[in-house]
Structure 1
Amino acid sequence: MCRWLAYTGNPIQLETVIFRSTHSLIDQSLHSRMGATTTNGDGFGIGWYGRLYEAPFRYRSVSPAWNDRNLREAARAIHSPLFVAHIRAATETPVQESNCHPFRHNQWLFVHNGLIRHFHMLRRDLMLKIDPALFASIEGSTDSEVMFFLALTYGLQQDPVAALERMAGVIEQTAARHRVEAPLNMTVCAMDGEQIVAVRYSSERQSRTLFHSTSFKHLHELYPHDPRIAAAGEDAFLVLSEPLVDLPDAWEEIAESTAIVARRGDIRQQAFVPRMRA
């Protein structure tokens, strides 16, 4: 359906994880091993942060990621301590640049893998719940962007996990009124230049795959001659749809209904429970 990864740590070339790993994001765009679809060729996007407090940069395209020469040049040139990359497999919305992830608002970037089932039935009700002050910033037609702006409406900038829980709860509450069963399936990532907030959740408890890296310090001890591990630093952290390399002890699957917050080497996990609105 889609594949994504998010990184925080020492500045590294985006090329390292997008192109150069054994099972890189480019490889996943053609040969996903764990996704709902094998090929993810309906566009891509990267978002990254430079200096502290600077608004994030973004590059999106409707081209298949494996066939975009500019992406290869950009990934080789960009060094960043915090970035996200996404390859898209469209569900029910058009292949157009405004529908490519990551979505952006001020300091925030957001990506999603999954879907809101029967989104065409729920779309109007969900969009009416978005803060009118944010409404003009919506550019595309995807369920993913609606999820992002609902989270912004419910306080993403103040309490990210609680805002995502409210977003999920409102979607499930709205779907129940329309008699849509198991409406939400998602792995999502939101970042603001300081932290990565990632969630794995689905209404039917059969979420899309999501993993995180284990200790880079431990990996450096196991593989002391791997320059990519050394460059990332001991506090580096990756959240991703599929492992990039088949290194023992390198990856751990994120449990169902779990949120992870990664901030400057501090990694916190907590249960993710949708909050219904009164």
Structure 2
Amino acid sequence: MCRHLAVLGPGSPIAESVLAPPHSLLRQSWAPRLQRYGTVNADGFGVGWYAPGDPLPARYRRAGPIWADESFADLARVVRTPALLAAVRDATAPGGDGEAAAAPFTEGRWLFSHNGALTGWPESAGALAAGLPPGVLLRLEARCDSAFVWALVRHRLLAGSPPGPALADTVRALDRAAPGSRLNLLLTNGSAITATAWGDTLWYLAAPPERVVVASEPYDDDPGWTEVPDRTLLSADREHLTLQGL
């Protein structure tokens, strides 16, 4: 379920990464090429981006499909950014969370997205939820599994964990609690991207020092796209990209 991507590069319009490519997130919302679970990503979308001189990212999120939002098309055409994270959300069971369930989720400089699903949700999360302070649970933006996954990651980040271990430890804990979950996580602070491939597709396109893209699937047919092996932690900035087994 869901499709997402993160981009680091020189300043460019949001549309260049999210709307313009032939197989962009816009097209993936109704015709993904590699999506294994779900068919239509129409239950919300969002993009977070960084503006020069402001340490905190901005977000634009909506509960409906990305193709129906003409205001976003205008915004994406004119807003330039050196870094972004965007996602489209798979059609899901009815619920009242609306745009609060759409990625990216945020804390300080961080933007986060989850592509996948927790098996047995929400019962499977009980033991892990019990290990979080009550205030963390009360501040959940939505009652969906992705918001809960973000709560676990955010708790580790705020406790001082670097992004790689924060994602890796969260994925391992979730897999123990809910075996068979799909846990492709994507995290950026505008300077680096950290991601996990766990149960779903993940690709990257790197052209250092200019640009790096990490995405659920390639947004065009550039031969430079490389698939990330399953159960892998990816860490990237504008100069380097590394892969580590999980």
Q: TM-score scaled to structure 2, two decimals?
A: 0.91
Report matched runs for 1:47-86 at 5 Å. Answer: 47-51=48-52, 54-86=55-87
Matching residue of 1:40: 41
Task: Give percent identity, aligned residues only.
Answer: 29
State the secondary structure of the residue aligned to 1:119: coil
* Equivalent residue, structure 2, for 1:267: 241
Matches within 5 A, 1:105-116: 105-116=107-118
The equivalences for 1:1-278 within 5 A come to 1-35=1-35, 36-51=37-52, 54-92=55-93, 94=95, 96-155=98-157, 157-175=160-178, 181-182=179-180, 184-201=181-198, 207-215=199-207, 234-247=209-222, 249-272=223-246
Aligned residue pair count: 243
Deviation at 1:174?
A: 2.7
Q: Which residue is equivalent to 1:229?
A: none
**Distance in 2 separating the partners of 1:145 and 1:250:** 32
CA distance in structure 1 between the aligned counterparts of 2:111 and 2:94, rounded to whole angstroms: 20
Distance 1:153 1:131, change over 3 A: farther
> How far apart in 2 are the matches of 1:214 and 1:266?
9
5+ residue gaps, structure 1: 176-180, 202-206, 217-233, 273-278
Return the index of the structure with the highest Cα Rg.
1
Deviation at 1:30, TM superposition (A): 1.2
Cα shift at 1:73 = 1.1
- Contact 2:8-2:190 at 8 Å conserved across structures: no
TM-score by length of 1: 0.81
**1: CA distance between counterparts of 2:18 and 2:71?**
13
Structure 2 distance, partners of 1:126, 1:53, is: 34
CA contact (8 A) 1:187 1:200 kept: yes
Displacement after TM superposition at 1:123 (Å): 3.3
Distance 2:239 2:196 in 1: 18
User: Residue type of the partner of 1:237?
Assistant: V
Unaligned runs of 5+ in 2: none
For the 8 Å contact 2:26–2:67, the answer to whether it is kept is yes
Please, which moves more after superposition, 122-131 or 262-271? 122-131
RMSD: 1.9
